[in-house]
Amino acid sequence: MTTERPFKPSEQGEREFIESRWDEFAQGASTGYERFGRGVVLVTVRPPDEPAKDGRIEYVNHSEADRVWPDRGWPEPATARAVADYDPEKGFLVLILDHDARTCRLHRFESDTPLSPPDTTAAS
């Protein structure tokens, strides 16, 4: 998944960015959960002084958290609790990680209806 534009540097701007691409994020989260189990959609933001390129978006599960945050796993205990508690059939988590890999913000999204399952019938 790639981003077409940067989002506003605020929690509200991040939420608006994710909500405007709900289908992409929900599909990525559903596919990630089906393949790897509980986790988050991780959005890594590029530094402001880098050329205008897309940030990285990937699905990270518990075992991958150690790769992103060596020696500590999830960045905060609240993130670990959210990963353990969310309902993957009706919601997903998005973790925005600033380029310094230290500053992050967690967003929880839920739907009243089940998320669409990954499309496994699409031709490659």
Show me where the domains of the chain are located. 11-110
What is d(CA 118, CA 121) in angstroms, rounded to the nearest whole number? 9
Scan for tokens 């060596």, then name that residue: 70
Phi and psi at 68, nearest 5°, equal -75, -40
| pLDDT, tens only, 23-58 | 899 999 999 999 999 999 998 877 666 665 556 788
What is d(CA 88, CA 98) in angstroms, rounded to the nearest whole number? 25
Decide if 30 contacts 119 (C-beta within 8 A).
no
Q: What is the pLDDT of residue 97?
A: 84
| pLDDT, tens only, 76-87 | 888 989 999 999
Q: What is the pLDDT of residue 94?
A: 94
